[in-house]
Structure 1
Amino acid sequence: MKKAKKEYSNGVVTVVYEPDLCIHSGVCFKGLPDVFQPGTRPWVKAKGASTDEIIMQIQKCPSRALSFYMNSGDENEEKGPIKAIETGQKVEVFKDGPMMMEGPITLIGSDGHREVLGNSCYFCRCGASKNKPFCDGSHKDIKFKE
């Protein structure tokens, strides 16, 4: 079954929305309310902000229900959502275990405290760690499965 996909363009960039992926976090409309307006049709007003502002907001979508591609005018160029390229930083999810991030990264805690982490760090995915957000191996004790 083909997933639903809607596209909205300002002539320079096309916003791609896949409603089946959306978790309704509100990040899009809270960050750029002149573009993303749930409850209206069409709900994406692609001319409501600059192309750069739209791209920056789309990149904050936690579910990746929003993506974009640049309109080139070249009919032979393949169109589709922009994909990240290898940047030297890496995120790896371990089966039945933690998520590893290779830094350097800045970790911002729920209290706003900022900490720069170099090399690699392992984040808990099972919820049982006593050292959240970091993994302490508790996933093994509770037999965490994906």
Structure 2
Amino acid sequence: MIKSKKEYSNGVVTVVYEPDLCIHSEVCFKGLPAVFQPGTRPWIKVEEASTEEIIKQVQKCPSRALSFYMNGPERTDDEKGQIKAIEAGQKVEVFKDGPIMMEGPITLISSNGQRKVLSSASYFCRCGASKNKPFCDGSHKEIGFKE
């Protein structure tokens, strides 16, 4: 079977569509009908919504027929279309010269085995200087932590 891919870009994000993977669940066009319009050509109109709205909807594709990549000069053709996340409610972000932010809900298991559910964003220390480990208390600024 020949695998085909089609790409649709708004200059910031490129949506990749792999029709061979599509199960026609209708999640895409029911969730963002201004962008996803089956029966029209082109059927993906990335200029009809914000980049954030498009990414959130693409991440809901159950078959992963839709994926995306952020445009930028550092990406090679081999890397395009590699971001295929299914929205699960969590987000992890590494801040330059700062903490790691994890957006919940997550379960934190301490070194003594105690479990705690964190439902909002939590910031974890990377520098080792926090007096409130594992959480960041801003000590990275005081010690001049750099990556």
Q: Scaled by the length of structure 2, what TM-score is found?
A: 0.54
Q: How many residues align?
A: 90
Shift in alpha-carbon separation, 1:72–1:2, aligned structure 2, 3 A: same
Q: Conserved in 1, the CA contact under 8 Å of 2:12 and 2:70?
A: yes
Question: What amino acid is the match of 1:82?
Answer: I
Shift in alpha-carbon separation, 1:83–1:30, aligned structure 2, 3 A: closer
Q: Deviations over 1:22-74 (max 9, x none)?
A: 01010000000110000000000011100010000000001000000000133
User: What is the distance in 2 between the residues matched to 1:73 and 1:104?
Assistant: 34
Query: Residue in 1 aligned with 2:38?
Result: 38
Query: Residue in 1 aligned with 2:112?
Result: none
Q: 1:1-146 residue pairs with structure 2 within 5 A?
A: 1-74=1-74, 78-84=79-85
Q: Report the more deviating stretch, 72-81 or 7-16.
A: 72-81
Q: Conserved in 1, the CA contact under 8 Å of 2:68 and 2:84?
A: no
Shift in alpha-carbon separation, 1:19–1:76, aligned structure 2, 3 A: closer
Shift in alpha-carbon separation, 1:76–1:31, aligned structure 2, 3 A: closer
Shift of 1:82: 1.1
Shift of 1:80: 2.9
Q: Deviations over 1:77-125 (max 9, x none)?
A: 84332145xxxx9xxxxxxxxxxxxx969xxxxxxxxxxxx9xxxxxxx
Shift in alpha-carbon separation, 1:3–1:53, aligned structure 2, 3 A: same
Query: Residue in 1 aligned with 2:139?
Result: none
- RMSD over aligned Cα, in angstroms? 2.7
Q: Conserved in 2, the CA contact under 8 Å of 1:16 and 1:81?
A: no
User: What is the distance in 1 between the residues matched to 2:75 and 2:24?
Assistant: 34
SS of aligned partner of 1:14: strand
Pick the structure with greater CA Rg. 2
Q: Scaled by the length of structure 1, what TM-score is found?
A: 0.54
Question: What amino acid is the match of 1:39?
Answer: G
Unaligned runs of 5+ in 2: 91-104, 108-116, 118-147
